[in-house]
Structure 1
Amino acid sequence: MTAAQLSTFQRWSILAGAAILLSLAMGMRQSFGLFQPSIIHDTAITTADFSLATALQNVVWGISQPMVGLLADRFGARYVMITGVLVYAAGLVIMVISTSALVFTIGAGLCIGLALSCTASSMTMTVTSRTVSAAKRSVAMGAVSAAGSLGLVIASPLAQTLISTAGWQVALIGFLGLVAVMLPAAIFAGRADRIEIEKSDDIAQSIGTVVQSALGHSGFVVMAIAFFVCGLQLVFITTHLPNYLSICGLDASLGATALAIIGLFNVIGSYSFGWLGGRYPKQLLLGGIYIVRSIAIAAYFTFPATPASTMVFAAVMGTLWLGVVPLVNGLVAQLFGLRFMATLTGIAFLSHQAGSFMGAWGGGLIYDRLGSYDAAWKSAVLIGLIAGAFQMLMNVRPPQRREAIESALPSAA
């Protein structure tokens, strides 16, 4: 069965499953920063311990993503995604019973990191790409990414309410209810395994050849390095913004409100950048996101934080949050096709997660050593501006061998 032969119900059920899976996986993960003050207060876990667990989560996510993508490319996405949901549940249970840094790190770091490889953006964007035509691919990825942003709107208020009224352990148990919803979503999204890849996207190459081609492609390398900065900036904010607001003497609920606003505006931004990516050069849009993000971070942290400035900052960052997802995945498909898309986006995502590690752990380390986040946000701004400039200059021509074969396909038909 090809994508064109799908019924309307089949197509929408796959896309809805992917959106729900992405939404809840990312919504819970991006809300973990709300648990930091309570966990630090109630256990022997320190700010540095919490940051290290979050950093390890991102490293595990990044390191495992290429292998998870390879398994999905070879054996199908459904079983990979279902396994990820079960591991996510195990990670939350371990976090609930944790009283030491080691146990907490196993749950929040190792288990959740592996689960995200199987359930988050790389897998859901691969499923989405198979389900629609090339002409609609960018806007479809933007739409799924936008719908996926609603998870933060659900997860962060739920977490903050339960933390305030019943404690952080009960809030994590509440997250287990959201994980239960992820299971049928993974089953529906996994129906994309039955879709045949179009001939132009199924050029006969081995996985080793494609990976070697990607690593030797200057544009792919630049995009992957710039993706490092994306991870650093976003995880620094989700991990440390609630603690920063607490330091500034602002109400604890403001952190949850800010994350919810990020999720809400992310719906607008993700769809918009997906739509724009189908009409304008994706590399220019990506570079623009990194640069504007950096300017927003500099403007917010330069002046004393207030509820109003925090809401504005959250709205701006939300608009620029996951808009990178359809653009990066679209560039990978444009350069190398769909056959090994999960593997190649996994490789690029490894760089993103290396940046996430630095954003989470480095931010906590800098704060513990210097008593301030100033050096952390200034570094994030500087490298963000540099990355944005290089991203705009990215080489977007497909590798020569693929370009030659694609040009020959119409004449052979």
Structure 2
Amino acid sequence: MSIFRFPLLVWMGIGTLIFSLGIRQSFGIFMMPISDTFQTGREFFSFAIALQNLLFGMFQPFVGMASDRWGPRRIIMLGAVAYGAGLYLTSIATEPSILYITIGMLVGLGLSATSYVIVLGAIARVVPAEHTAKAFGLTTSAGSFGMFAVIPGAQSLLTHFDWQTALQLFALACCLMIAFASFMKTSSTKSNSNTIDDSQTLKQALSEAFNHRGYWLIHAGFFVCGFHVMFIATHLPSYLADKGLPGNIAAMALAYVGIFNIFGSYFWGVMGDKFDKRYVMTSLYLVRTIVIAAFVTLPVTEHTAAIFGGAIGFCWLGTVPLTSGLVRQIFGARYLSTLYGLVFFTHQVGSFLGAWVGGRIYDYYGSYEPIWWSTVVLAFVAALLHLPINCKPVARLQAAYS
């Protein structure tokens, strides 16, 4: 199937992710101005973002269940409202503790309803199974395009205005997600080979997944992914500033992460359709191991920062189409939003620790070096974890397809 023949829902999902994840990935640029405004250390903002990611994950299974039951349109609309409210209330906060509720809880809830789990769960219902990873890869790359487009915009806004105005403009942008959601329909045709088994209950689906060892290995691998992406997204700007590089270099490096992930996510998704997803995942994490180890070993310059952004961007969110594709391949599409939502919660636990522990270690040791090397070790462990996964469809699906 050509990407140009994907249903309208895929393109509306892409539009939603551009804004939802683009804004989210720009928060690292706000660390220093917000911390300076409230006269707090970096751990304060790190913890607020860590809390956002933890709640993002905690809300996700329940939001996924709601989407499986009532459809993604309403869920995305409500999530966009929560997202915009969280950004606006952050911009008018007068006490730092308020940020735990605004940019932490409300934005976390908004993200859970407007990001990958809900959008990919909807796409799984309208795209044939043999093209799932490709469609997931294309959709995932949209979040990276948002990162590429929004982060330089955020840096420009901070150059010309204060951070409060920047967040208020981002809050207005959330209205576009409501517009995109209004066009999303998940009814599939009978010709669609992506058959959904409506006879299975949610309780049965959860029991089936919880008793599958591969499901827990998928959880463990995605935990590492979450740790990586939020540590880097939150702390890379500050790390580069500590090395004497100006703020526009950090924005450029993160923009490179976004632009290269546009190609990387689609590439890893296509590889997942052509080859065994387990081995593709192992290859991805081995690439991460080498890239991060090289970055912390070599001198930090404008050029190495740019190269790191591009290299880590190529394997940044390629885990998303592969992980969601594995869950879809093993358990089917019916409860993908729920099952992948639970996996995503584990991802967000890793994100919480990556964002918070990074700031904690810096404030204690005055250096990011220990946490950088921890990400190298975790990447190698994640590469090994995917090898023993049994990725064959469960017996229920094999019987249905035979």
> With structure 1 as the length reference, what TM-score do the two structures score?
0.93
38, 44, 55: which one aligns with 1:43:
38
- Cα deviation 1:140-183 (Å, max 9, x = unaligned): 11112223321111210111011112111111122123212211
Pairwise CA distance, 1:12 = 4.0
Name the SS of the counterpart of 1:131 in structure 2: coil
Which range moved further: 290-299 or 335-344?
Answer: 290-299
Q: Distance in 1 between matches of 2:220 and 2:257?
A: 24
Q: Distance in 2 between matches of 1:62 and 1:116?
A: 9
Aligned to 1:106: 101
Say whether 1:89 aligns with 2:102. Answer: no
Say whether 1:390 aligns with 2:363. Answer: no
Q: Distance in 2 between matches of 1:194 and 1:335?
A: 21
RMSD of the alignment, in Å?
A: 1.8
When residues 402 and 150 of structure 1 are mapped into structure 2, their CA distance, relative to the original with a 3 A threshold, is: same
Q: Distance in 1 between matches of 2:271 and 2:247?
A: 36
Q: Distance in 2 between matches of 1:132 and 1:199?
A: 7
Name the SS of the counterpart of 1:191 in structure 2: coil
The amino acid that maps onto 2:186 is A
Runs of 5+ in structure 2 lacking a partner? none
The amino acid that maps onto 2:68 is D
Q: Distance in 1 between matches of 2:94 and 2:194?
A: 54
Say whether 1:15 aligns with 2:4. Answer: no
107, 110, 116: which one aligns with 1:115:
110
Say whether 1:274 aligns with 2:269. Answer: yes
- Cα deviation 1:124-143 (Å, max 9, x = unaligned): 11122222212222211111
Instruction: Verify the 8 A CA contact 2:264 2:316 in the aligned structure 1.
Output: yes
Aligned to 2:203: 208
Q: Distance in 1 between matches of 2:158 and 2:275?
A: 44
Pairwise CA distance, 1:362 = 0.7
Aligned to 1:67: 62
Instruction: Verify the 8 A CA contact 1:45 1:100 in the aligned structure 2.
Output: no
- Cα deviation 1:43-76 (Å, max 9, x = unaligned): 2332111011111111101111111110111111
Aligned to 1:192: 186
Aligned to 1:317: 312
Q: Distance in 2 between matches of 1:382 and 1:394?
A: 20
Which range moved further: 122-131 or 241-250?
Answer: 122-131
Aligned to 2:135: 140
Aligned to 2:175: 180
Q: Distance in 2 between matches of 1:100 and 1:323?
A: 38
Aligned to 1:254: 249
Say whether 1:169 aligns with 2:143. Answer: no
Runs of 5+ in structure 1 lacking a partner? 408-413
Between the two proteins, the alignment pairs up a number of residues equal to 399
When residues 21 and 195 of structure 1 are mapped into structure 2, their CA distance, relative to the original with a 3 A threshold, is: farther
> With structure 2 as the length reference, what TM-score do the two structures score?
0.95
Aligned to 1:243: 238
Instruction: Verify the 8 A CA contact 1:53 1:109 in the aligned structure 2.
Output: yes
The amino acid that maps onto 2:320 is V
The amino acid that maps onto 1:207 is L
What does 1:275-294 align with in structure 2 at a 5 Å threshold?
275-294=270-289
Q: Distance in 1 between matches of 2:7 and 2:195?
A: 24
- Cα deviation 1:194-233 (Å, max 9, x = unaligned): 6678684315211111111111111111011110000000
Pairwise CA distance, 1:105 = 1.5
Q: Distance in 1 between matches of 2:295 and 2:223?
A: 22
Q: Distance in 2 between matches of 1:402 and 1:21?
A: 31
Instruction: Verify the 8 A CA contact 1:44 1:99 in the aligned structure 2.
Output: no
The amino acid that maps onto 2:398 is E
Q: Distance in 1 between matches of 2:397 and 2:176?
A: 40
When residues 73 and 198 of structure 1 are mapped into structure 2, their CA distance, relative to the original with a 3 A threshold, is: farther
Q: Distance in 2 between matches of 1:108 and 1:302?
A: 34
Which range moved further: 261-270 or 123-132?
Answer: 123-132
Instruction: Verify the 8 A CA contact 1:85 1:119 in the aligned structure 2.
Output: yes
Identity in percent: 37
- Cα deviation 1:21-50 (Å, max 9, x = unaligned): 111111110110000111111223321110
Q: Distance in 2 between matches of 1:100 and 1:199?
A: 50
Instruction: Verify the 8 A CA contact 2:194 2:333 in the aligned structure 1.
Output: no
Instruction: Verify the 8 A CA contact 1:158 1:171 in the aligned structure 2.
Output: no
Instruction: Verify the 8 A CA contact 1:76 1:193 in the aligned structure 2.
Output: no
Instruction: Verify the 8 A CA contact 2:79 2:113 in the aligned structure 1.
Output: yes
Aligned to 1:411: none
